[in-house]
Amino acid sequence: MRKWKSGGAWLAVVLTCALLGAAQTGVPPGDPGMPAQASRSTVNLFGGGAFSGGYLKYAYTVTRQGAAEPSTTTTEIIPLPDGNYSVVSTSTETVSLAMVNIGFFGIPLPRLGIHVAANTSGTIDLSPLSNIASTEIEPGKNYILPDGGRFRAGEMGTIAGIRVIHGTYTHADYTNVEIDLAFAEDLTIRALLPFPAKMVFRYSAAASTTGDQPLQMFSSVELSEFIYKPTGDR
């Protein structure tokens, strides 16, 4: 059993970098190494999948503990007349002068993961969620995932105009942390998003979430805008 610890802004930086890079790291349409049906049937939990074409725009709001204002990351994929695509990713954040850095998207290289400390207690394993990323999730169902993961599906809701299924993720190795999640109900929309529609990381200073120990939010990522127009739509 490992105790998850709050690690400053590290997690929010990783989330932001993943959001910014997800649209540009996928397999190009028509790549011989990707089956034709893959982009419609397979959802990658944190992006990187094939894009089947059209116009796509998504924006996420990232909130983290200790930050005065939330940040926003936006990606817009625009089809061009010659068949290529323009991919524009932006990140907006309000910080003090002391927090301004000259680096990749304003982030210094050490915070991009160029150097990873030996103590990784500030991370939590989200890979078990891949087991339900490409499947329909039933409201109220309890999903036992590989490697100690568990997802308790909750109720349906709406985020940024799309239908989502809420739920809570826990991991046996990190007993003092819970993650509130919301997945797009439509698998086609889910495949177009680099992240779930909502992720709220909550933790307790105690070694376990059991008992009366209150949970406090460390960071959150929530979809704030989603627009998709398939090829041929205007």
The DSSP call for residue 132 is T
Residue 118 token pair = 């030996």
Higher pLDDT, 2 or 225: 225
What is the Cα Rg of the chain in Å?
A: 18
Q: Residue 1: which pLDDT band, with cuts at 50, 70 and 90? A: low
Among 119, 149, 121, which Cα is nearest to 45's? 149
* Helix or strand holding residue 39 (H, E): helix 38-41
* pLDDT at residue 27, rounded to an integer: 38
Residue 213 confidence (pLDDT): 64
Distances (CA, A) of 230 to 40, 77, 216: 13, 12, 40
pLDDT exceeds 80 at position 24: no
pLDDT of 166-187, one tens digit each? 999 998 888 888 899 999 999 9
pLDDT at residue 125 in the model: 79
pLDDT single digits (tens) 85-97: 999 999 887 777 7
Give residue 148's identity as a one-letter amino acid code. Answer: G
**CA angle (150 as vertex; 142, 219 as ends), nearest 5:** 115
The tokens describing 48, both together, are 């990187």
137: Cβ–Cβ under 8 A, 6 or more apart, which residues?
Answer: 143, 151, 153, 165, 167, 183, 185
- Residue 174 backbone dihedrals phi, psi, to 5 degrees: -135, 80
Q: How far apart are CA 52 and CA 85, in angstroms?
A: 12
Is the entire prediction scored with pTM above 0.85? no
Three-state SS at 200: strand
Q: Which helix (H) or strand (E) holds 192?
A: helix 187-192
Q: DSSP state, 191?
A: H
- Which pLDDT score, from 0 to 100, does residue 163 have? 98
Of 31-35, 40-44, 113-117, 131-135, least confident by mean pLDDT is: 31-35
Q: Would residue 53 be called left, alpha or beta, if left means φ above 0 and alpha means ψ between -120 and 50 degrees?
A: left
Q: Compute CA distances 197 → 61, 120, 188, whole Å.
A: 10, 26, 13
Instruction: Provide the CATH topology of domain 10-229.
Output: outer membrane lipoprotein receptor (LolB), chain A (2.50.20)
| pLDDT tens-place string over residues 186-230 | 999 999 998 899 999 888 776 555 555 677 777 889 999 999 999
Q: What's 190's DSSP letter?
A: H
* 39 pLDDT tier (thresholds 50, 70, 90): very low
Closest CA to 143 of 174, 183, 176, 202: 183
- What confidence tens digit (pLDDT) does each residue in 108-165 have? 444 444 443 444 444 677 888 888 988 999 999 999 998 888 999 999 999 999 999 9
Q: Is the pLDDT of residue 55 over 70?
A: yes
Q: In angstroms, rounded to a whole number, what is the distance separating the alpha carbons of residues 199 and 183?
A: 9
- Residues 47-67: what's their mean pLDDT? 84
